[in-house]
């Protein structure tokens, strides 16, 4: 039991440790004295600008996005009772990618987060209409999400063909995911999405245990499965759409982190959900730190998470064949 409590404490505090370590890592080396001076408001020349205007908002944005993706993945895996569901299952990423492509390619005057969020929400609404969320329609909804994702992916390809090479490069880079353009306004926006989107999920996380048992069992426990499923899909989609609108496509986080936490701490969502959010924040901060330190140029963080996610998916397949999903 003491070891379990120690493990819980380490996971909860891991985002703070990862963020503190990431402040010192980068193309420009910083001493602890320079970082402390910048954080306490003491003028420290270019070091203060690097810490307060570049690294700190980037680290905070990465942590917030990671918490949203991992928390949403945990929630949706319970909603769909499927261990291979991630936050992009309903076409969020494809819709946001199309919005980004349209903004960069044709209407650069419009805010990119607004366009990405608008089309991500449109994609989810289309998937919900096609799948029908009124009853026990998990499989139909997933299939509708696949169809909608394919449609918006085709539209993104069409935009790529139509734009000039310079704008095409910007679209491709955004699709791979990056926090290079992080600003304090984006941090505030994503923090609000975290509160509005995952706040209700955290408040109702005990009901995820009932929902993961099945609709009949949930109703026996006094949980209205259909309404709860619709609410959870709506709020998690809102949070993920906002996160994707500022970071691009950062894949695998919502699939990997919930499984890792579930393997260690068990499937009780009262504990699983907040721990997964903390683990997701830590993972994305670490991945972004590697991405901006791996070479002299900016490596998209989506590449780093994909390199980590591919072998993890192979591990999941091996466990699935043996009937040990850990769900």
Question: Mean pLDDT of all residues in the chain?
Answer: 85
Query: Is there a domain that residue 294 lies in?
Result: yes
> Is residue 3's pLDDT more than 60?
no
Global pTM reads: 0.89
pLDDT of residue 5: 67
Query: Is there a domain that residue 101 lies in?
Result: yes
Structural domain count of the chain: 1
Query: 6-35 pLDDT, tens per residue?
Result: 677 777 789 999 999 999 887 777 778 888
Helices marked H in 81-164? 92-105, 112-131, 138-162
In the chain, the percentage of residues whose pLDDT exceeds 70 is: 92
> Is residue 323's pLDDT more than 70?
no
Q: At what angle do helices 225-247 and 92-105 cross, to 10 degrees?
A: 30
pLDDT of residue 39: 81
Query: Is there a domain that residue 327 lies in?
Result: no
Report the pLDDT averaged over residues 93-115: 87
| Cα 162 → chain centroid | 29
Instruction: Quote the CA–CA distance of 109 and 13 in Å, as a whole number.
Output: 40
Query: 219-267 pLDDT, tens per residue?
Result: 777 788 788 888 998 899 889 988 988 998 898 999 889 988 988 888 8
- Residue 133 is encoded by which pair of tokens? 């969320």
Indicate which CATH number applies to the domain containing 314. Answer: 1.10.3470.10
Instruction: Quote the CA–CA distance of 38 and 43 in Å, as a whole number.
Output: 7
> Is residue 307's pLDDT more than 80?
yes
Q: How far is CA 176 from CA 56, 166, 248, 288, in A?
A: 22, 16, 7, 12
Segment of 13-22, 56-65, 289-298 carrying the highest mean pLDDT: 56-65
Report the pLDDT averaged over residues 280-295: 91
Owner of token pair 């290079």: 180
pLDDT of residue 139: 74
pLDDT of residue 36: 82
Domain hosting residue 26, numbered range: 2-321
Report the pLDDT averaged over residues 134-146: 72
Query: Is there a domain that residue 44 lies in?
Result: yes
> Is residue 70's pLDDT more than 80?
yes
Instruction: Quote the CA–CA distance of 7 and 15 in Å, as a whole number.
Output: 14
Query: Is there a domain that residue 267 lies in?
Result: yes
Query: Is there a domain that residue 171 lies in?
Result: yes
């Amino acid at each position: 039991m003491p070891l379990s409590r120690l493990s819980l404490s380490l996971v909860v505090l891991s985002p703070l440790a990862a963020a503190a370590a990431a402040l010192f890592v980068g193309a420009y080396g910083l001493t602890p004295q320079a970082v402390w001076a910048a954080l306490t408001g003491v003028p420290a020349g270019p070091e203060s600008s690097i810490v307060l205007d570049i690294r700190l908002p980037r680290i905070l944005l990465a942590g917030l996005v990671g918490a949203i993706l991992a928390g949403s993945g945990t929630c949706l895996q319970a909603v769909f009772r499927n261990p291979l569901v991630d936050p992009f299952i309903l076409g969020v990423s494809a819709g946001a990618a199309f919005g980004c492509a349209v903004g960069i390619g044709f209407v650069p005057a419009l805010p990119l987060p607004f366009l990405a969020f608008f089309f991500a929400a449109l994609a989810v609404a289309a998937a919900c209409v096609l799948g029908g969320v009124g009853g026990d329609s998990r499989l139909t909804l997933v299939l509708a999400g696949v169809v909608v994702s394919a449609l918006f992916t085709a539209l993104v390809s069409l935009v790529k063909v139509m734009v000039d090479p310079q704008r095409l490069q910007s679209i491709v880079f955004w699709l791979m995911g990056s926090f290079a353009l992080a600003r304090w306004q984006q941090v505030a926006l994503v923090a609000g999405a975290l509160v509005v989107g995952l706040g209700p999920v955290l408040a109702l996380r005990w009901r995820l245990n009932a929902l993961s048992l099945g609709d009949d069992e949930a109703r026996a426990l006094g949980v209205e499965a259909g309404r709860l499923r619709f609410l959870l899909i709506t709020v998690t989609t809102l949070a993920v759409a906002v996160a994707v609108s500022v970071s691009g496509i950062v894949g695998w986080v919502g699939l990997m982190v919930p499984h890792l936490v579930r393997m260690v701490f068990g499937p009780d969502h009262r504990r699983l959900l907040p721990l997964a959010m903390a683990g997701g924040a830590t993972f994305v901060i670490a991945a972004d730190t590697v991405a901006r330190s791996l070479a002299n140029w900016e490596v998209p963080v989506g590449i780093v998470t994909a390199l980590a996610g591919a072998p993890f998916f192979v591990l999941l397949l091996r466990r699935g064949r043996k009937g040990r999903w850990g769900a």
